[in-house]
Amino acid sequence: MAFLELDGVTKRFGPHVAVEQLDLTVAKGEFVSLLGPSGCGKTTTLQMIAGFLDLTGGAIRLEGRNLAEIHPSRRGLGIVFQSYALFPHMTAAENVAFGLEMRRVPAAERAERVEAALAMVGLAGFADRYPRRMSGGQQQRVALARALVIRPSLLLLDEPLSNLDAKLREEMQIELRQIQRNLGTTTILVTHDQVEAMSLSDRIVVMNTGRVEQIGTPQETYERPASAFVANFLGKTNEFAGTIEAGTQPARIVAGSWSAPAPAGFSGPVTVSVRPEKIGFAGAGQGLAARVAIRIFQGNHWLFQCETECGPAIVIRQNDGMAQPAEGEAVRLAWRPEDMSLRAAGVRP
């Protein structure tokens, strides 16, 4: 039996369908991210799990229990909001203790659990500090400690890192993942940040206009996107018009001057999708003819904007100390067949 199960979950606001027939099973201890652009239904889904919104259709079960039959306050969930929602008149320790007080945990046990929770998030010396005297990262830690101190069966995170600057957000991603692994708490994260979802998650649920586009591990969704939307939303991708030449044995896929054996299941015109870091510079007479339009140094790698006979292409090459093609230089681009994905030409992203 799945620990958390969403079975045909649907939510409508009048004629607008916010979430449509969402099916998802989550294992105990798993970290799953709901990823997608604004308005895709990810926050609505989280709010239905929390009980803040009623379902229009379907069911949500936690350890076999129908959550629709359980009041939100009795579901035993830990929630961290984007705004943190800390009480400004309470110290960090008082904020963390609030949920325990509501559950009438004895004072001695409450003090021990609050101290342990603050230490777990790196705030052992901040118990008496008020939120207004804390940085954004420290406030985020307090909110996380408050959610975890009640020992929730399920932790819900609603874009908790979006208000932090880039460097602090990266640091908090590492800390959050480490805490989740140590505690083994089943976690659902809502985010629109692709890097965050891939850094933290065991699996990613990519959503678009209320529907699930793909569910898979970070590597699966990145390396083998199920749709053009997933390919373009999870980082940069290059797309070339190609065709399957069935007259040869075996059949070949051709995009401009690049060709390779064709995978099974495709025929006629296709769109070839290749990630920028999967493309290399090939020798003379090999690969796709191109010319470097722009070359940008970005520290640990070079980014090349190239013009090819099949349209523009982005190439990312690691900075290995070797000489790199100059702007205006003619080059040849090549990639391995296993590093590309295909879809029939004309299929809508």
Lowest mean pLDDT among 18-27, 129-138, 164-173, 323-332: 164-173
Where a domain ends, among 232, 265, 296? 232
> What Cα–Cα distance (Å) separates residue 309 from each residue in 258, 271, 275, 291, 346?
10, 14, 18, 9, 19
Report the CATH number that the domain containing residue 267 is assigned in CATH.
Answer: 2.40.50.140
**CB contact set of 262 (below 8 Å; sequence gap of 6+):** 244, 245, 250, 251, 252, 253
- The pLDDT-based confidence of 61 (bands split at 50, 70, 90) is very high
Q: Which stretch of DSSP H or E encloses residue 181? A: helix 166-183
Q: Is the pLDDT of residue 346 over 70?
A: no
What tokens were used for 144?
Answer: 């996380």
263 lies in the same domain as 140 = no
Where a domain ends, among 232, 249, 274? 232
Q: Which residue has the higher pLDDT, 161 or 186?
A: 186
194 assigned to some structural domain: yes
DSSP 212-268: EEEEE-HHHHHHS-SSHHHHHHSS--EEEEEEEETTSSS-EEEETTEEEEPPTT--E
Q: What is the predicted pLDDT for the residue at 198?
A: 93
The tally of domains found in the chain comes to: 2
CB 18 within 8 A of CB 38: no
Q: What is the predicted pLDDT for the residue at 201?
A: 95
pTM: 0.85
- The pLDDT-based confidence of 8 (bands split at 50, 70, 90) is very high
136 lies in the same domain as 187 = yes
Write out pLDDT tens, residues 311-342.
999 999 998 888 899 999 999 999 998 898 88
**C-beta atoms surrounding 13 within 10 Å:** 10
Rounded to an integer, the average pLDDT of 216-230 is: 91
Structural domain for 258, as ranges: 236-344
Write out pLDDT tens, residues 266-309.
888 998 999 999 999 988 878 999 999 999 999 999 999 999 99
85 lies in the same domain as 43 = yes
- The pLDDT-based confidence of 265 (bands split at 50, 70, 90) is confident
73 lies in the same domain as 197 = yes
- The pLDDT-based confidence of 349 (bands split at 50, 70, 90) is very low
Q: What is the predicted pLDDT for the residue at 154?
A: 95
Where a domain ends, among 203, 232, 261? 232
286 lies in the same domain as 146 = no
Rounded to an integer, the average pLDDT of 141-157 is: 92
- The pLDDT-based confidence of 1 (bands split at 50, 70, 90) is low
CB 20 within 8 A of CB 210: yes
13 lies in the same domain as 82 = yes
The closest of 253, 272, 254, 275 to 262, measured between CA atoms, is 253
Q: What is the predicted pLDDT for the residue at 327?
A: 96
Rounded to an integer, the average pLDDT of 225-241 is: 89
Angstrom distance (rounded) from CA 47 to CA 347: 33
> What Cα–Cα distance (Å) separates residue 78 from each residue in 46, 292, 298, 332?
12, 51, 40, 53
The closest of 203, 188, 214 to 67, measured between CA atoms, is 188
197 assigned to some structural domain: yes
The residues pairing with 187 across neighbouring beta strands, listed in sequence order, are 31, 155
Rounded to an integer, the average pLDDT of 203-207 is: 97
